[in-house]
Amino acid sequence: MRANDFEEEADQVYMTAIRRLHTEDFDNPTRLLIWTRIFVGLEACCDAFEHVADLMGSIYLKNS
């Protein structure tokens, strides 16, 4: 399913961004905290998108 592929790609982007943020851009703690929260929120959105796609697929299968 494509939604799962997108979510897996988003996981990789999230891990890369968090790793880079904490290893290369750690000189400003406020900016670090804000961007970490933004990335966590975006990751939660991607997870929710995958969950909705799975539910819609399940509903489609039950009604076909």
DSSP secondary structure letter of residue 27: S
Give pLDDT, residue 2. Answer: 85
SS3 string, 3-14, reads HHHHHHHHHHHH
For the chain, 64 residues long, give each residue's pLDDT as a single digit of tens: 688 899 999 999 999 999 999 999 889 999 999 999 999 999 999 999 999 999 999 998 888 8
Give pLDDT, residue 64. Answer: 82
Please tell me the pTM assigned to this model. Answer: 0.81
Ranges of each domain in the chain: 2-62
Give pLDDT, residue 1. Answer: 62
Q: N- to C-terminal Cα distance for the chain?
A: 18
Say how far apart CA 19 and CA 42 lie, in whole Å.
Answer: 15
Say how far apart CA 19 and CA 54 lie, in whole Å.
Answer: 29
Say how far apart CA 12 and CA 38 lie, in whole Å.
Answer: 16
Give pLDDT, residue 3. Answer: 83
